[in-house]
Amino acid sequence: MAITRRRKLIGNAQNGAALTVLTDNKFKTDSFAVRFITELTEENAAANAAVAFMLEDTCTAYPTITDFNKRLSQLYGASVRSGITRFAHSQVITMAATSIGSRFALDGEDVSALVLELLCGCIFEPVTENGIFPQKQFELKKQELIDDIDADINDKRSYALKQSGKIIYRNEPAGIAVKGEREAAENLTSEQVWQAYKALLKTAKIEITFTGGALTERCEKILEERFGSLERDNIHTPLVSRSPVKASPEYVTERLDVLQSKMVMAYKTMETNMPVRMVFVSLFGALPISMLFMNVREKLSLCYYCAASFANKTGVMYIDSGVESSNILPAQKEIQNQLEMAAKGEFSDELLEQTKLALICSLKSVDDSPRSVSDWYFGYYMETGSEKYTPEELSALIGNVTKEQVMEFAASFKLDTVYVLTGKED
């Protein structure tokens, strides 16, 4: 059975909240995801990230982690989690819950509705003290956020991508660290995070996704009552814009105590053809059979890894690699050479067909789990503003991508930034 899609507004058209229902009877679990999409700024990034930590594992009805986890166990081992991601120039705070489908409950109770009520309790009735988040709980959660930021710094590949983003997107929100900077997190107060929480409820664009066997009437009523009655104003409109390419490439070297150098090369394009973009990026550097992997890494041994990824909403292709310091310049030149070869069509028809087959197989796996379905349709809808294609329809378009289209797409890229993280000694 194919996935059935339904989308509706919650409340009036100005409320800025919408529900997407994705159902397939094969799913044995039900999943809810509530995404608050808000402006990403230096001032609010850390505070909004802290909100995600504060809402995750307590609520007024179950004020301790022990009580909360006991309730999850009673609901057949349900889970509630939070997340912090970015969408182009916006920050996304996600509250999600997963449970078994109600039709599998032993006593016929609507488990999905009970889990949804628990999730809504986390969102709308957090534990408070003197009108704000409790100080003791806040300090613990703030430390978790700081530890999370530190973990990104300790992972030098993630750190290089984060630092390069500040240069690639200079003076653009997309360059701001999605969880904020460590110093900003350290300086947070419970009052600040409480105000950030209230602002999310009032101004964030809210996207709710249900994925599972069937959305019960009770669940839909809960969503309507909870989110439809919110007092909303100044609703955030996510900005999706291509990042402008610099007049000339910017080269930046940062020195830390590292053994393996990291290099990030960023290319920008104004082209927007989704199927062609997917084929090109995969063929160029996102698969184990790609041009970068087979030539820069395997044939020439210029790097330990060399991978391409693409920021769909801003038009930026990242080539990130781990290299010996002596191979930084040779790897840089060869990556540029491989891009020029792609633009000239110097890749085999076999590679093109294998790439398209790999992408089609990947799209077939989208509906393997409720979470992957939810993530895919949310990302696709936010990128395109429509439900134009299903994964199956996108697969058909990928299958028709031609070599000439891939060449044109490759030729559209301009080098914007080269960031190198290397050791303190030459």
**What confidence score (pLDDT) does residue 385 get?**
66
CA quadruple 127, 131, 136, 142: dihedral, nearest 10: 90
Amino acid at 299: K
Mean pLDDT, residues 15-40 taken together: 94
pLDDT band, residue 308 (cuts 50/70/90): very high
Calpha distance 202→199 (Å, rounded): 5
Dist CA 156 CA 256 (whole Å): 10
Query: Do residues 396 and 316 share a domain?
Result: yes
165, 105: one domain? yes
Residue 218, classed as helix, strand or coil, is helix
Residues 343-386: pLDDT tens digits? 999 999 999 999 999 999 999 999 888 888 998 888 877 777 66
In a domain, 241, yes or no: no
Same domain, 363 and 215: no
What six digits make up the tokens of 115? 């889990």
Q: Are residues 309 and 161 in the same domain?
A: no
**What integer pLDDT is reported at residue 209 of this predicted model?**
96
Q: Per-residue pLDDT averaged across 65-85, rounded?
A: 97
Instruction: Tell whether 32 is covered by a domain.
Output: yes
Residue 408 lies in a domain: yes
- For residue 256, give both structure tokens: 């830390």
Domain boundary residue, one of 196, 228, 260: 228
- Confidence at residue 396, expressed as pLDDT on a 0 to 100 scale: 95
Number of structural domains (the chain) is 2
pLDDT for res 386: 63
Given 198, 228, 258, which residue is the final one in a domain? Answer: 228
Lowest mean pLDDT among 24-28, 51-55, 376-380: 376-380
Q: What is the pLDDT of residues 347-359, one digit of tens each?
A: 999 999 999 999 9
CA distance 264 to 165: 9
pLDDT of residue 371: 87
For residue 187, the tally of other CB atoms under 10 A from its CB is 11
Cα torsion 40, 42, 47, 49: sign: positive
Q: Is residue 86 part of a domain?
A: yes
Same domain, 51 and 13: yes
Q: Tens digits of per-residue pLDDT, 318-340? A: 999 999 999 999 999 999 999 99
Helix or strand holding residue 23 (H, E): strand 17-23
In a domain, 234, yes or no: no
User: Please, which residues bridge with residue 23 across strands?
Assistant: 4, 212
Residue 205 resides in a domain: yes
Query: Is the per-residue pLDDT at 1 higher than 60?
Result: no
For residue 402, the model assigns a pLDDT of: 98
Coarse DSSP helix, strand, coil percentages of the chain, rounded to the nearest 5 percent: 45, 20, 30
Residue 410 has a pLDDT of 98
Do residue 360 and residue 289 come from a single domain?
yes
Q: Which amino acid does the sequence have at 183?
A: E
**Closest to 356 (Cα-Cα) out of 410, 413, 396, 393:** 396
Question: Which pLDDT score, from 0 to 100, does residue 106 have?
Answer: 87
**Mean local confidence (pLDDT), 299-304:** 97
Q: Answer yes or no: do 255 and 217 share one domain.
A: no
- Assess contact for 58 and 235: CB atoms under 8 A: no
351 with 401, same domain: the answer is: yes
Is 80 exceeded by the pLDDT of residue 148? yes
- CATH of residue 319's domain is 3.30.830.10
Long-range contacts of 166-172 (CB under 8 A, 24+ apart): 167/250, 167/252, 167/417, 167/419, 168/243, 168/266, 168/316, 168/416, 168/417, 169/243, 169/314, 169/316, 172/89, 172/243, 172/314
Is the model more confident about 50 or about 2?
A: 50
235 inside domain: no
Q: Which residues contact 190 (CB under 8 A, 6 or more apart)?
A: 132, 133, 134, 135, 138
How confident is the model over 160-204, as pLDDT tens digits? 999 999 999 999 999 999 999 999 999 999 999 999 999 999 999
Which structural domain, as residue segments, surrounds residue 190?
Answer: 4-228
118, 177: one domain: yes
Each residue's pLDDT tens digit, 261-286: 999 999 999 999 999 999 999 999 99
Whether 255 and 371 map to the same domain: the answer is: yes
What's the chain's Rg over C-alpha atoms? 23
| Co-location of 212 and 273 in the same domain | no
Checking DSSP bridges between strand 29-39 and strand 205-212, what pairing results, if any? Answer: antiparallel
Residue 388 has pLDDT above 70, yes or no: no
**Does 322 reside within a domain?**
yes
Within this chain, do residues 331 and 275 fall inside the same structural domain, yes or no?
yes
